[in-house]
Amino acid sequence: GAVVSQHPSWVICKSGTSVKIECRSLDFQATTMFWYRQFPKQSLMLMATSNEGSKATYEQGVEKDKFLINHASLTLSTLTVTSAHPEDSSFYICSARPAGRLNQPQHFGDGTRLSIL
Amino acid sequence: AQTVTQSQPEMSVQEAETVTLSCTYDTSESDYYLFWYKQPPSRQMILVIRQEAYKQQNATENRFSVNFQKAAKSFSLKISDSQLGDAAMYFCAYGLIQGAQKLVFGQGTRLTINP
């Protein structure tokens, strides 16, 4: 089946540093990937839609300069949390939609737990 | 904007019994998908079942079935013969068929299975 790999699975870093999270589709191409954030005991909230070869589309209230998204290839999207602070601590999940297959559902990565000290 | 509402923060059921999780949504679109996702403690998102809005027949996947009421904008999940492995958070989600197909999730229902 379709597999989405997300790396790292858990990262702890100091306040003020930048953290990069990778989302890879391993056995399919994805022109569109999605980044979600999930706070403890809450639902998934879409942060942005990542489009291969073009700028990401951010949801209202999400700072595009803080959450940098790059989708440079059909199998890789990255989310960089710049100058991270404790309030950015959360669970980040990506998903990928197989290119050219509108009737196939998105496939989710296993998520990244980000802890900012 | 589309919204998804799950009014049951927590549900519990005896093992081998049947439980129904509720979901309502709001949209002005006519072509869309509805989903139920399971999120166990590992936090992996697992697709349980999907329903296309243009299909009148309710989707089923083994012990899981839905009651899709398009006019009422209701999409409930029935789990039959509940098993201990069914314990998890369950999220109802909505997505358009066309376009980016980004998903809007409900607040979630935590399901506990009592042995």
Reported as a single tens digit per residue, the pLDDT across A29-74 is 998 999 999 999 899 999 999 988 888 999 999 999 999 999 989 9
Which residues from B are below 8 Å from A111, CB to CB?
A: 43-44
Q: Is the CB of residue A106 less than 8 Å away from at least one CB of chain B?
A: yes
Select the residue of A43, A57, A91 nearest B105 (Cβ to Cβ). Answer: A43
**Are B27 and B92 within 8 A, CB to CB?**
no
Lookup: tokens for A74: 């059909």
Contact with chain B for residue A58, Cβ under 8 A:
no
* Structure tokens belonging to residue A4: 């989405």
Six-digit token string for B112: 């506990």
> What are the residues facing A112 on neighbouring strands?
A92
The predicted structure's pLDDT at residue A100: 77
Identity of the residue numbered A23? C
Can you give the pLDDT at residue A85? 95
What letter would DSSP give residue B82? Answer: -
- Given B44, B100, B103, which is nearest A110 (Cβ)? B44
Cβ distance of A32 and B100 shorter than 8 Å? yes
Tokens of A27: 């056995």
Tens of pLDDT along A77-100? Answer: 999 999 999 999 999 999 998 887
| DSSP state, residue A65 | T
**Cβ contact A57–B105 (<8 Å):** no
Residue A5 at interface with chain B, using a CB cutoff of 8 Å: no
CA B31/CA B66 separation, integer angstroms: 18
Which residue among B47, B91, B108 sits closest to A105, beta carbon to beta carbon? B47
> How far is the C-alpha of B42 from the C-alpha of B87, rounded, in Å?
12
